[in-house]
A and B are shown apart, each in its own frame.
Chain A
């Protein structure tokens, strides 16, 4: 079912995929940090419009915090900790816009919509299925890490560097065995579920969510392409 709650404008999933790709290029070609911050602001606005307001707020807070940290530590770069903080905040502000784009796509697009969009873009099944499963399962892997760590503590095995140095092989086993066992089990269960739902069928896949390129999609894409062209032209004519 199409879930349009909290979403002011419905935009085709394909448009959202293009938004991710073109947004990446925006940041790659951004000449100054002010321009980059402007793009981040634009992404945040787009996130709110697309219905990812909570994620956008969190990212905005993190971005602001990092910029403050950067400004603060810029005066202390002679000290080693100042330099570490400074380079750390720089690295994070470099990565954050890309992360924001990915978060917008993943949090506003259901896996079924995403798969349908990729199929319509003529992407091979051999890439779409693993990629969709990967996006779905990666957050669960992180949760599992935390659970395995707790379980190791309960059994008196220290999941820290110290524990690793003292008993390397045991610690490594206690970490990998549950993680890979559960991955193997999840793979089997997901396959069984997907086969039962006809993933192996040769027939064309259908999707309950209507997927159509509307005026909003064309307008949004045109805006993105126009901005990108302007940005690249400025970059070529006025090298920094």
Chain B
């Protein structure tokens, strides 16, 4: 292996093109899986950094999904552009969902990342991961996972509370949250999340065009 990563990649392709071309184009190999892992770490951290200040406050908590959607867009698009194989976004969603589950958030969010990630992957792969519109739709779906918790909160509140309020002393948080909940919040929250995700994807497109394509990180 060469030390310079750009040289290493060219050498790898030239040396093994005849052998691995067919397989390499279709299936995720170890390099892709590692790339997914690294970018998932970035995405997880950006989701948490964006959302944490909203999640801790019961009035602002309704804007957590939009805040979580705002930051990871560029990382998400760069991951899709770098790997470009079926399953990238689905596996990223699986990893993020696992983290969300382990950190004790509402289980619907974790399921959302897995299901919507797979759905987004199908859409993005139909454009060969090269269409900005399809990648952006995939990112918007991915970001909407966080809304699921609140969709359940508004449609089946008793169930949501029973699965969240583990100890009775936590009630003040949820009482304030219920007092702050209005009917109009849910549609506005979903629309806000979509807009925020779209904005993040647009910033990502700009960065990809202006910086990463020039630097040879993606082609």
Chain A residues in the interface with B (C-beta under 8 A): 20, 24, 27-33, 35-36, 70, 77, 83-84, 86-88, 90-95, 97-99, 101-102, 125-127, 129-138, 140-142, 145, 169, 172-173, 176-177, 179-181, 183-192, 194-196, 199-200, 240
On whether the beta carbons of B207 and A184 are closer than 8 Å, the reply is: no
> What is the chain B residue whose CB lies nearest that of A199?
B30
On whether the beta carbons of A200 and B29 are closer than 8 Å, the reply is: yes
On whether the beta carbons of A194 and B166 are closer than 8 Å, the reply is: no
Q: Given A87-B58, A172-B203, A196-B1, A126–B173 Cβ distance below 8 Å?
A: no
On whether the beta carbons of A90 and B169 are closer than 8 Å, the reply is: yes
On whether the beta carbons of B37 and A177 are closer than 8 Å, the reply is: no
Distance in Å: Cβ of A193 to nearest Cβ of chain B: 9
CA distance A98 to B101 in the complex (A): 10
On whether the beta carbons of B36 and A94 are closer than 8 Å, the reply is: no
On whether the beta carbons of A90 and B203 are closer than 8 Å, the reply is: no
On whether the beta carbons of B30 and A184 are closer than 8 Å, the reply is: no
- B residues less than 8 Å from A35 (CB atoms): 167
- A residues less than 8 Å from B91 (CB atoms): 126-127, 130
CA distance A30 to B170 in the complex (A): 12
Majority DSSP secondary structure for residues of B touching A: helix
Selecting from B126-134, B147-155, B186-194, B211-219, the interface stretch reads: B211-219
B56 part of interface (Cβ distance < 8 Å): yes
On whether the beta carbons of B169 and A133 are closer than 8 Å, the reply is: no
On whether the beta carbons of B170 and A94 are closer than 8 Å, the reply is: yes
B13 part of interface (Cβ distance < 8 Å): no
- Identify B44's interface contact among A36, A134, A192, CB under 8 A: A134
On whether the beta carbons of B5 and A192 are closer than 8 Å, the reply is: yes
- Identify B212's interface contact among A29, A138, A180, CB under 8 A: A180
On whether the beta carbons of B167 and A32 are closer than 8 Å, the reply is: yes
On whether the beta carbons of B103 and A185 are closer than 8 Å, the reply is: no
On whether the beta carbons of B166 and A130 are closer than 8 Å, the reply is: no
On whether the beta carbons of A180 and B78 are closer than 8 Å, the reply is: yes
Q: In the complex, which residues 50-105 of chain B have their Cβ closer than 8 Å to any Cβ of chain A?
A: 55-58, 74-75, 78, 82, 87, 91-92, 94-95, 98-99, 102-104
B178 part of interface (Cβ distance < 8 Å): no
